[in-house]
Amino acid sequence: MKVAIVCYPTYGGSGVVATELGLALAERDHEVHFLSYEPPYRLGGDFRPNVFFHEVQVTAYPLFRYPPYDLALASKLVEVAETHGIDLIHAHYAVPHAVSAVLARDMLGRPVKVLTTLHGTDVTLVGQEKSYLAATRYGLMRSDGITAVSRHLAEETKRVLCDTCKVRVVYNFVDTERYAPRPCGPTRARFAKPEEKVLLHVSNFRPVKRPLDVVAIFAEVARAMPAKLLLVGEGPELQRAEEFAAGLGLANRVRSLGQRSDIERILPCADLFLLPSQSESFGLAALEAMSCGVPAVASRVGGLPEVIEDGVSGILAPVGATEEMAARAVRLLENPKAHEAMAKAARQRATDRFDRSLWIGEYESVYRQLLAGA
């Protein structure tokens, strides 16, 4: 198959999943064309067979106060589809990708299928904004197929956007060979002393990730034992989180690592992963940590309970319950046998339910059904 994948290139779950999916499809001899305004950060700079990138350029014409990226994307999709014989357009994140994909399909002179994958805030936040609601709903209704990354998100989509739409659940996935427990003594030694516990948070540091809660949880853990907090990623709330930590006297125990392309080398060095989000449609960052044998302490919200078994492969607590999260984290870290058991269960959960081989095949099945007219 020849597949065009439209995604955001930034440090977020939708772009990560889209990129990892495309790379896995290319390994299975499908031809994959990525389209975005810049290369997805997980695409890397190495040459990969069957993988192509097409930059969407927006003209800065004086008449346009806001350059119309959605139209530029639709036009580029038409160009790529005509030049390379694209069979299917896979739009990740509804706004504006679903509408742009539908428009491109309608402009083409031959049949091309459109699959839209919903990732979370395109349904729960952005898609419900008055400015985008009608267009988002139209994009979904005109797509040939829709998938969502969790049962929770599929149900929410039908509730708030399109009660007549058929939404198929195709879970996010992880490369369990790449994200795996491994010795990381030299790497860990760069961040922490042998007696210190390492807590880790990875996100785009938007308010929905509640990074101040990350610091609050860590502050309680740090009172109980020597510990360090690593922050990976960039975003609008990162500075506030750093300032909050400094105000608590923890500046020398919190380290920001910025955006990293080698996160699979850092994750195994952590003892716990913190994800106290306001909303999570799935929790890909937590899954990658679990695959590395790192239990996650997370909010009991959205699709996270579909990923983490509370008390078995991780810890779940209500949104904002930082004291409960911290207390349970401390108890776990103080009990090496319990921590080891939960770490093994986290890894087992990732390999049994979310290994990429399971869900890449599911996407291939969806593609074939759409192309067959099912």
Write out the chain's pLDDT in tens, 374 residues: 999 999 998 767 788 899 999 999 999 999 999 999 999 878 877 788 999 999 999 988 888 888 899 999 999 999 999 999 999 999 999 999 999 999 999 999 888 999 999 998 888 777 678 888 889 999 999 999 999 999 999 999 999 888 899 999 999 999 999 999 999 888 899 999 999 999 999 999 999 999 999 999 999 999 999 999 999 999 999 999 999 999 999 999 999 999 888 899 999 999 999 999 999 999 999 999 999 999 999 999 999 999 999 999 999 999 999 999 999 999 999 999 999 999 999 999 999 999 999 999 999 999 999 999 86
Q: Tell me how far apart the alpha carbons of residues 180 and 162 are, in angstroms, rounded to a whole number.
A: 38
SS3 53: strand
| CATH superfamily of domain region 185-353 | Glycogen Phosphorylase B; (3.40.50.2000)
Per-residue model confidence (pLDDT) at position 59: 85
Per-residue model confidence (pLDDT) at position 55: 96
In sequence order, which residues have a C-beta less than 8 Å from that of residue 275 and are 6 or more positions away? 201, 203, 209, 283, 285, 286, 296, 297, 298, 299, 304
Paired tokens of 329: 């984290």
Q: Tell me how far apart the alpha carbons of residues 195 and 276 are, in angstroms, rounded to a whole number.
A: 25
Per-residue model confidence (pLDDT) at position 20: 92
Distances (CA, A) of 22 to 26, 31, 35, 48, 52: 6, 9, 11, 11, 10
Evaluate whether 95 touches 136 at the Cβ level (below 8 Å).
Answer: yes
Q: Tell me how far apart the alpha carbons of residues 111 and 313 are, in angstroms, rounded to a whole number.
A: 45
Paired tokens of 151: 């049962």
Tell me the whole-structure pTM to 2 decimals. Answer: 0.90
Q: Which CATH architecture has domain 2-173+355-371?
A: 3-Layer(aba) Sandwich (3.40)
SS3 275: strand
In this structure, the number of other CB atoms found within 10 A of the CB of residue 66 comes to 6
Q: Tell me how far apart the alpha carbons of residues 240 and 281 are, in angstroms, rounded to a whole number.
A: 24
Q: Tell me how far apart the alpha carbons of residues 85 and 372 are, in angstroms, rounded to a whole number.
A: 17
Asked whether the bond before 318 is cis by omega within 30 degrees of 0, the reply is no
At 366, which amino acid appears? V
Q: Tell me how far apart the alpha carbons of residues 217 and 313 are, in angstroms, rounded to a whole number.
A: 19
Paired tokens of 123: 């349904």
Q: Tell me how far apart the alpha carbons of residues 120 and 215 are, in angstroms, rounded to a whole number.
A: 24
What are the structural domain ranges in the chain? Answer: 2-173+355-371, 185-353
Say yes or no: do domains 2-173+355-371 and 185-353 share a fold: yes
**What backbone phi and psi angles, to 5 degrees, belong to 229?**
-115, 125
Strand pairing category for 272-275 and 254-258: unpaired
Beta bridge partners of 167: 146
Paired tokens of 31: 């031809």
In sequence order, which residues have a C-beta less than 8 Å from that of residue 316 and are 6 or more positions away? 298, 299, 300, 304, 305, 308, 310
